[in-house]
């Protein structure tokens, strides 16, 4: 690749784009980030000017993907809760479809034993669960503990399902969306009455109608 004159922001983005390909397809321990410099047509010294090592490089990649995901899936509080949920699923699946390499790299980060990578990915999922809980219990104060467990585990379910979807491209996107919404309904229907926020029955009926 011919050497291009890029701004610092453009160069950093270029290096991360190239690194995304490597980390999405090669196990972390086998990735040599010097290969990124080679692909970008820059010196190793310039690469290390932006990222002092592989761990910092991978952390920057995961952080960029997380920030993009958080921004794209920001809820619209003016919508009813079930529409917020359905729209969130739609936007998330669109994000995965547009960013397959970043999604795979995120999953590799989850599988790593690195504490910082675990913290970065866990914080993103915690935020998504918090958004859902806020929509479910806007006036109820602290959500019941069992409800928090249910929502957090549904977030993990849709993350894993969307990642598997990348390996099963023949599965229609709308069918995966409906599966995610139906799973949400099924999980919350399993809650005892004491763990259900006010209006949950109406929400479940609305989600079922949307998915149906």
> Do 37 and 133 fall within a single domain?
no
- H or E stretch covering 114: none
Domain range for 40 is 8-52
Per-residue pLDDT of 13-38, as tens digits, reads 989 988 888 887 887 778 888 888 88
> Do 27 and 82 fall within a single domain?
no
Angle subtended at Cα 32 by Cα 159 and Cα 55, rounded to the nearest 5 degrees = 55
Q: Long-range contact list for 144-150, CB < 8 A, 24+ apart?
A: 144/191, 144/194, 144/195, 144/196, 144/197, 145/195, 146/191, 146/192, 146/195, 147/188, 147/191, 147/195, 147/196, 147/197, 150/187, 150/188, 150/190, 150/191
Q: Taking the chain, what is the end-to-end CA distance rounded to the nearest angstrom?
A: 50
> Do 69 and 138 fall within a single domain?
yes
Residue 192 covered by a domain: yes
> Do 67 and 48 fall within a single domain?
no
Residue 68 has pLDDT above 70, yes or no: yes
Number of domains in the chain: 2
Per-residue pLDDT of 153-178, as tens digits, reads 999 999 999 999 999 999 999 999 99
pTM of the model: 0.81
> Do 18 and 121 fall within a single domain?
no
Q: What is the CATH number of the domain that holds 28?
A: 1.10.10.60
Look at residues 90, 125, 95 and name the one whose alpha carbon lies nearest to residue 109: 125
Angle subtended at Cα 116 by Cα 91 and Cα 132, rounded to the nearest 5 degrees = 30
Give the span between the Cα atoms of 12 and 199, in whole angstroms.
Answer: 47
> Do 200 and 97 fall within a single domain?
yes
Residue 80 covered by a domain: yes
> Do 79 and 40 fall within a single domain?
no
Residue 38 covered by a domain: yes
Residue 150 covered by a domain: yes
> Do 85 and 162 fall within a single domain?
yes
Residue 210 binned pLDDT confidence (cut-offs 50, 70, 90): low
pLDDT of residue 153: 94
Residue 2 covered by a domain: no
Give the span between the Cα atoms of 61 and 20, in whole angstroms.
Answer: 7
> Do 90 and 159 fall within a single domain?
yes
Residue 3 covered by a domain: no
Q: What is the CATH number of the domain that holds 116?
A: 1.10.357.10
> Do 97 and 161 fall within a single domain?
yes
Pick from 54-58, 137-141, 175-179: least confident: 137-141
Give the span between the Cα atoms of 105 and 96, in whole angstroms.
Answer: 12
Please give the backbone phi and psi of residue 180, each rounded to the nearest 5 degrees, phi first. Answer: -65, -45
> Do 14 and 91 fall within a single domain?
no
> Do 78 and 148 fall within a single domain?
yes
Q: Are the beta carbons of 92 and 73 closer than 8 angstroms?
A: yes
Number of H helices, E strands in the chain: 10, 0
Residue 35 covered by a domain: yes
């Amino acid at each position: 690749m011919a050497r291009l004159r890029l701004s610092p922001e453009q160069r950093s983005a270029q290096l991360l784009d190239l690194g995304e390909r490597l980390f999405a397809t090669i196990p972390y321990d086998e990735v040599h980030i010097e290969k990124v410099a080679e692909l970008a047509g820059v010196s190793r010294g310039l690469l290390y000017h932006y990222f002092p090592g592989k761990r910092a490089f991978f952390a920057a990649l995961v952080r960029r993907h997380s920030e993009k995901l958080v921004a794209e899936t920001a809820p619209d509080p003016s919508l009813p809760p079930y529409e917020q949920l359905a729209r969130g699923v739609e936007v998330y699946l669109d994000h995965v479809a547009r960013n397959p390499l970043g999604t795979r790299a995120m999953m590799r980060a989850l599988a790593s034993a690195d504490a910082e990578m675990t913290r970065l990915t866990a914080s993103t999922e915690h935020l998504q669960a918090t958004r859902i809980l806020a929509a479910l219990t806007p006036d109820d104060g602290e959500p019941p503990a069992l409800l928090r467990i249910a929502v957090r585990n549904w977030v993990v379910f849709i993350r894993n399902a969307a990642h598997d979807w990348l390996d099963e491209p023949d599965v229609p996107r709308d069918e995966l969306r409906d599966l995610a919404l139906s799973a949400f309904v099924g999980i919350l229907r399993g809650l005892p009455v004491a763990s259900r926020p006010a209006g949950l029955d109406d929400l479940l009926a609305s989600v079922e109608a949307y998915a149906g």
